[in-house]
Chains A and B, each alone.
Chain A
């Protein structure tokens, strides 16, 4: 269970970081007044909020963070 939680935490951060990062890159490529800006900002803000949530959840699982084996290879017993 603990391993699973760590693996999900890690993978979720990875996915969200990609959504956040690519939305920022796309945003930087748009000019003011571009109708897609609002959508992209929505994606960026949602990813940011989700990353905060993950961080909050992870902080409630302190025992998970101190298990070196899981940290070394989160997929060892997970997905």
Chain B
């Protein structure tokens, strides 16, 4: 059973579909054209959309493309129903992102079978999404364990994606940077408090435990296909070009690009944030330290340059501020972590 939106400008056709679906116990909503369908979907997202193709004002193809272009609705399966049946129609439908097709007159058994299988798929993707939000909650829990920094993860996601855009990276990479910003330190959930929150310098043994957060984090993300692109960021954001980083001591181009970007932003943010064991440095000092890292062969010069340009231009616009009273405190936006503490304390 699920919530199904029937979209058809022909009242009789809409009613027929609803009469076929109602005995199955589905919740039903109706819309008379594509534009109305989009309004209904945004107000109360259904589990499945059954939509006529030929409708006045906005066609089913246009509405389907709009549903699939919006990240909030793209996982809702859309079945296009058409009175005409040609492979050309199907190609257009596939281009618009349709998940399945039915031709008029709709065969009852065929309709119910498709609806059942697509609702099953929807439940599955919902569960995956839920699993992803559990992992995100874990990351925010890690932040919450140490309240000395403001919104570290949010800033990291913000700057990492801004750098990615400036470099002209594809949308998938930008999305990975966004998630990577939040999830990079999720593995710290597995690090004992006495090490994570230790005010003084870490011993060699403690630091070796701290390093494990990259491996633990990757493992936490490991079972989720949707987090696949984020795993390299989580595992490798502490690697350095000269091989001195961890956990694998990768060198040069062997370090994934997205992990290098997050690594640079992470260091900068850790330096400019106050910690129990150190004062916050000014942005100028932190920039100088990054450039020193370039000279020592730790970071790629072009990436550091792009990041510093990004940071400068956003500062001028006042985009992400840490000044008291200016930091947005949304519910659930948690204060931040021991950040790249292992890094900053070495």
Contact = CB atoms under 8 A, between A and B. Distances in A.
A17 B104 contact: yes
B86 A21 contact: no
A13 B16 CA distance: 13
Interface of A: 9-11, 13-18, 20-22, 24-25, 51, 65, 71-75
Given A51-B105, A73-B54, A74-B54, A14 B83 contact: yes
A7 B201 CA distance: 78
B141 to A, nearest CB: 51
Nearest to B89: A71
Nearest to B9: A75
B106 A71 contact: no
A16 B61 CA distance: 23
B54 A18 contact: no
B20 to A, nearest CB: 7
Contact of B105 (A16, A25, A72): A16
B84 A71 contact: yes
Contacts, number: 56
Nearest to B15: A18
Given A17-B104, A17-B106, A10 B54 contact: yes
The 5 closest A-B pairs by CB, nearest first: A18-B12, A17-B105, A21-B16, A13-B83, A14-B10
Interface string B63-87: 0000000000000000000011010
Interface size bracket, B side: 10 to 19
B105 A73 contact: no
Nearest to B59: A72
Contacts of B16: 17-18, 21-22, 25
A10 B106 contact: no
A71 B20 contact: no
22 contacts: A9-B83, A10-B83, A11-B10, A13-B83, A13-B104, A14-B10, A14-B104, A16-B105, A17-B13, A17-B16, A17-B83, A17-B104, A17-B106, A18-B12, A20-B105, A22-B15, A25-B19, A25-B20, A65-B86, A71-B89, A72-B54, A75-B56
Contact of A73 (B12, B15, B19, B59): B59
B92 to A, nearest CB: 9
A20 B20 CA distance: 12
A74 B89 CA distance: 14
B88 to A, nearest CB: 8
Contacts of B15: 18, 22
Contacts of A14: 10, 12-13, 83, 104
B52 to A, nearest CB: 9
Given A20-B105, A73-B59, 14 more contacts: A10-B54, A13-B83, A14-B13, A14-B83, A15-B12, A17-B83, A18-B13, A21-B105, A22-B15, A22-B19, A24-B108, A65-B84, A71-B84, A75-B56
A1 B8 CA distance: 25
Nearest to A72: B59
Nearest to B62: A72
A69 B10 CA distance: 20
Contacts of B12: 14-15, 18, 22
Contacts of A75: 56
